[in-house]
Structure 1
Amino acid sequence: MKRRIFVFEFITGGGLTGQPRLPSSLLREGRLMRDALLRDACALPDVDITLLHDARLPPPDFPAHLVAVTPAPAFDAAFEAAFEHALATADAALIVAPESGGVLTALTSRVTSAGKTLLGCDAGACHIGASKSLTARCLALAGIPVLPHYSDAAALPALPGRWVVKPDDGAGCDGLRLVDNMHQAAQALRPGFVAQPWVAGEARSLNLLCARGEAVLLSINRQQLAIDGEHVALAALAVGAVPIDEAYKALARRIAAALPGLLGHVGVDVLHTADGPVVVELNPRLSTSACALHDTLDCNLLAATLTAADGGPLWRPAGAARPQRIELTEAVDVA
């Protein structure tokens, strides 16, 4: 008997139906993640997919049972009905949604409250991962190096060089401002934001497969940043471009042990410094770099997540990574 899996990707799945238009950058990344999951599903003969679908978009080129969401205020009664119908008819659900505003935490809670198998991190892990300050405190307590963060302007140390100010519950570069010094950071800091020194190092990200306090490090990726004045954006990803070593494997294991509610794919942004990797933030969900794992490692991430959720062993790569590049935006300045 086939398992019915409800796949919900926030951007393509009607999460922004209340907005007059879908931001092109978010839409591209949303489609990449949705289509990566659907491609994986096509290789599984015992799986059927239910997909929420923003009716303004063309349907995906992969088979799925579409539940259309027509334009209306986001998360209104129409969206609620579509989400509840898809969830009620599914055996399991995989949620890809923003951490900001508690959206990811709330949706994962609904899956478990409905008695369905959650193919992802639990609500507790999502709540911690949604906050840069909570993540840093949790990992630091486990002895994991983290990027310093400050929420009180009066407490900023007089460190030389640039600083960043960004939302505590934002993802990646969303809402990030790059300022020239500590005094400007103190002026820009406001409730709900954190300030962090701009530390020298190479921006990288990790793809982890987690379950029950354990993790397999799937890839180490280089991040190319585009800097334009105060604005910073992720311009490109080189997935699998950095060889995996024991230090990074150990970091992955320590992160999973510190947050045993992590399950399935987890993305971790790190800064590779002269002293080794320093964690910047954690994304307890599918992230854009994971879309290349099929071509980089022959990894069917949906199958690996199903196995992990069913209590089976974590999937491990059989060979070396074949690096894949994902272009996201035109670079203005590379850091």
Structure 2
Amino acid sequence: MKRRIFVFEFITGGGLAGQRHLPPSLLREGQLMHDALLRDAAALPDIEIILLHDARLPPPGFPAHLIVVTDDDAFDAGFAACFDRALDAADAVLVVAPETGGVLAALTSRVTGAGKTLLGCDADACRIGASKSMTATCLAGAGINVLPHFTDAATLPALPGRWVVKPDDGAGCDGLRVFDTVHRAAQALHPGFVAQPWMAGEARSLNLLCGRGEAVLLSINRQQLALDGERVSLAALAVGEVPIDETYRALAGRIAAALPGLLGHVGVDVLHTADGPVVVELNPRLSTSACALHDALGCNLLAATLAVADGGPLWRAAGVAQPQRIDLTQAADVV
């Protein structure tokens, strides 16, 4: 009998149904993750895939059971009914959704509440990962170097140089602004945002495979950031370009031990400084850089996540990564 897996990617799966546009940058990344998961699924025997699918997009070239989400199914009761139809039909569920607004944690809770096998991080880990301040507090308590953060403008230290202000529960560069002085950063620091000093270092990200308080570090990636005035965006990723060393392996293990609810793929943004890696934030879900792990390492993330969720061992690469580049150029809006 085939095992039925509900693979839900928020952007391609109708999470923005009812909104006029699908933002091109989000759609680009969503499609990359959606396609990577379907490619992994195609290699697995005895698997049936269930998908929610935004009606504005062409159907995937993959034999899946589609539940089409239309403009009438906005992210409220209509969307919930579509999600529940897919959930009811599934044995296991993998959710890729934004942490912003508690969306990822809420959907994760619905999966476990329905008694389905969750192929991802638990709701508590998702709630912590959704908040940059909570993540920093948790990891710092475990002795991990984290980027300093401030939530009260009155407490910002008078440090020279640039500052970053961003939503506490934002994803990646969304809503991130860069200011030349601490005074301007203080003026922009509103409730629900955090301020951080701009620290010198190379922007990197980590791909972790986690389970039961342990982790395997799959790759270290270079991030190419683009600065346009006050705005910062992620322009490209060089996945697996940085060789893995013991410092980074130890960091991966300490992160998993600090947050034992992490399971499956976890993305971690870091700054590589003269004193070593400093954690910026954590994404308790599939992230864009993971889409290149199949080509870089021969890693089937869906199979690896299924194995660890079923109590099996963590997948480990047989060799070093073959670097892969992901360009995140914007396409046209989908309306």
What's the TM-score, normalizing by structure 1?
A: 0.98
Q: Report the alpha carbon displacement of residue 108 of structure 1 after superposing the two structures with TM.
A: 0.1
Structure 2 match to 1:85:
85
Structure 2 match to 1:168:
168
Structure 2 match to 1:270:
270
Distance in structure 2 (CA, Å) of the matches to 1:47 and 1:173 = 35
1:191-202 equivalences in 2 (<5 Å): 191-202=191-202
Structure 1 match to 2:107:
107
Aligned residue pairs, count:
330
Q: Secondary structure at the match of 2:257?
A: helix
Q: Report the alpha carbon displacement of residue 73 of structure 1 after superposing the two structures with TM.
A: 5.5
- Specify the code of the residue in structure 2 equivalent to 1:292: A
1:59-98 equivalences in 2 (<5 Å): 59-72=59-72, 74-98=74-98
Distance in structure 2 (CA, Å) of the matches to 1:281 and 1:18 = 30
Q: Report the alpha carbon displacement of residue 74 of structure 1 after superposing the two structures with TM.
A: 2.5
- The reply on whether 1:229 has 2:257 as its aligned counterpart is no
Structure 2 match to 1:190:
190
* CA displacement, residues 232-280 of structure 1 (integer Å, 9 cap, x when unaligned): 0000000000000000000000000000000000000000000000000
Structure 1 match to 2:318:
318
1:14-33 equivalences in 2 (<5 Å): 14-33=14-33
Alpha-carbon contact 1:19-1:73 (below 8 Å) kept: no
Distance in structure 2 (CA, Å) of the matches to 1:217 and 1:166 = 27
- The reply on whether 1:42 has 2:42 as its aligned counterpart is yes
Structure 2 match to 1:242:
242
- The reply on whether 1:142 has 2:142 as its aligned counterpart is yes
Structure 2 match to 1:333:
none
Alpha-carbon contact 2:10-2:97 (below 8 Å) kept: yes
Distance in structure 2 (CA, Å) of the matches to 1:282 and 1:64 = 31
* CA displacement, residues 161-205 of structure 1 (integer Å, 9 cap, x when unaligned): 000000000011000000001111100000000000000000000
Q: Report the alpha carbon displacement of residue 63 of structure 1 after superposing the two structures with TM.
A: 1.9
Q: Secondary structure at the match of 2:173?
A: coil
Q: Report the alpha carbon displacement of residue 329 of structure 1 after superposing the two structures with TM.
A: 2.9
Distance in structure 2 (CA, Å) of the matches to 1:170 and 1:233 = 13
Alpha-carbon contact 2:18-2:70 (below 8 Å) kept: no
Distance in structure 2 (CA, Å) of the matches to 1:292 and 1:194 = 31
Q: Report the alpha carbon displacement of residue 78 of structure 1 after superposing the two structures with TM.
A: 2.4
Q: Percent identity?
A: 82
Alpha-carbon contact 2:218-2:317 (below 8 Å) kept: yes
Indicate the larger mover: 14-23 or 252-261: 14-23
CA-atom RMSD, angstroms?
0.8
Q: Report the alpha carbon displacement of residue 35 of structure 1 after superposing the two structures with TM.
A: 0.6
Q: Report the alpha carbon displacement of residue 142 of structure 1 after superposing the two structures with TM.
A: 0.1
Q: Secondary structure at the match of 2:17?
A: coil
Question: Structure 2: where are the runs of 5+ without partners?
Answer: 331-335
Alpha-carbon contact 1:5-1:50 (below 8 Å) kept: yes
Distance in structure 2 (CA, Å) of the matches to 1:175 and 1:263 = 27
Distance in structure 1 (CA, Å) of the matches to 2:77 and 2:144 = 43
Alpha-carbon contact 1:234-1:329 (below 8 Å) kept: no
* CA displacement, residues 274-302 of structure 1 (integer Å, 9 cap, x when unaligned): 00000000000000000000000000000
Q: Report the alpha carbon displacement of residue 303 of structure 1 after superposing the two structures with TM.
A: 0.1
Alpha-carbon contact 1:122-1:261 (below 8 Å) kept: yes
Distance in structure 1 (CA, Å) of the matches to 2:205 and 2:329 = 17
What's the TM-score, normalizing by structure 2?
A: 0.98
Structure 2 match to 1:119:
119
Alpha-carbon contact 2:104-2:126 (below 8 Å) kept: yes
Distance in structure 2 (CA, Å) of the matches to 1:132 and 1:14 = 26
Q: Secondary structure at the match of 1:79?
A: helix
Structure 2 match to 1:282:
282
- Specify the code of the residue in structure 2 equivalent to 1:240: G
- Specify the code of the residue in structure 1 equivalent to 2:140: A
Q: Secondary structure at the match of 1:94?
A: strand
- Specify the code of the residue in structure 2 equivalent to 1:249: R
